[in-house]
Amino acid sequence: MSSISRRSLLGYSGTTAAGAVLGAAGSAEAADTAAAETEASASAVFPSGTRFSADYTIGPIDASMTLTFSVSVMDTPTESVITPNEIANLLNELAESRGWPPATFYGTPAPAPLT
C-alpha cells in the first residue's frame, strides 16, 4: 500500500478523497502482483511431469474445489503436444460453465503461476 497513512489522509482531504486514493493504491498493488505473477510464469521452466494445481471457491455459498493435473511428454511431435496452458484453460472453461470463477494454476516444484 501507499506510504501515506490513512489517518493523515483523512485529516487532510476528507473521507471521499481518502477512499479514492486508498482504493487506487489497492488497485495498483493488485496490478503489480498480477504483473509479477505473469513475469514469474514467463521465466519459470516447468519440466515434464510437473504437477499443476488450482483452488476454486464460490464465496457466497461457501463451496471450494481443487483441480490438479500433470503432463508428461516423451517423444511426441511438437504439433501433437498438449500444453499445460491448454489444459488449464480447458479446466477453467469447464469450471466457469458450472458457475465457478476462473482460477490460476500453480506448478510445483517451481512455485510459479501457469498463465
99 and 57 in a common domain: yes
Q: Which domain holds residue 65?
A: 46-114
**Which helix H or strand E contains 108, and what residues bound it?**
strand 105-108
Number of domains in the chain: 2
103 and 53 in a common domain: yes
Q: What is the DSSP letter of 79?
A: G
Q: What is the pLDDT of residues 62-110, one digit of tens each?
A: 899 999 999 998 999 999 999 999 999 999 999 999 999 999 999 986 6
54 and 25 in a common domain: no
- Residue that the C-alpha cell 499445460 belongs to: 84
Q: Which three cell numbers stand for residue 75?
A: 517423444
pLDDT at 84: 93
- Phi and psi for 69 in degrees, rounded to 5? -150, 165
79 and 105 in a common domain: yes
pLDDT greater at residue 35 or residue 56: 56
- CA-to-CA distance for 29 and 23, rounded, in angstroms? 10
